[in-house]
């Protein structure tokens, strides 16, 4: 059995609905169209991944119902952002950190052995 793994750090996007890529092969479309009467686009989750913006690959997951696909896409996308990018988004801004860094370096200079006021 062959198993493929995708690291959360290389996932760029998770889509469902009209933005998802559906299988082009008619036989495969007939197989995955089974289930509820939702459209195939609504039941498909497309995950785009890649180490950079040039080498991007797409993986399609077909669900049986529209609500399962929606929950899966939200879980993949939000789970990725919480686990991998949370530290990037929680950093304070430059306007907040510049005076603090300046004051800290000034205190260190004043505490140095050769400083004379």
More confidently predicted of 68 and 10: 68
Tell me the C-alpha distance between 67 and 76, whole Å: 14
Q: How large is the average pLDDT for residues 10-19?
A: 81
Higher pLDDT, 107 or 59: 59
What pLDDT sits at residue 96?
Answer: 73
Q: 80 pLDDT exceeds 70?
A: no
Residue 113 binned pLDDT confidence (cut-offs 50, 70, 90):
confident
The architecture CATH gives domain 8-91:
Roll (2.30)
What is the signed CA dihedral for 29, 32, 35, 38, rounded to 10 degrees?
-50
Task: Please report, for the chain, the start and end positions of each structural domain, with discontinuous segments joined by +.
Answer: 8-91
């Amino acid at each position: 059995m062959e198993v493929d793994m995708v690291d959360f750090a290389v996932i760029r996007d998770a889509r469902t609905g009209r933005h998802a890529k559906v299988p082009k092969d008619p036989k495969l479309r007939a197989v995955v169209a089974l289930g509820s009467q939702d459209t195939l686009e609504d039941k498909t989750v497309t995950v785009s991944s890649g180490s950079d913006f040039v080498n991007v690959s797409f993986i399609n997951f077909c669900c049986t119902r529209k609500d399962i696909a929606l929950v899966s896409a939200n879980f993949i996308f939000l789970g990725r952002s919480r686990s991998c990018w949370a530290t990037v988004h929680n950093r304070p801004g430059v306007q907040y950190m510049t005076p603090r860094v300046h004051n800290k370096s000034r205190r260190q200079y004043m505490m140095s052995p050769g400083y004379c006021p």
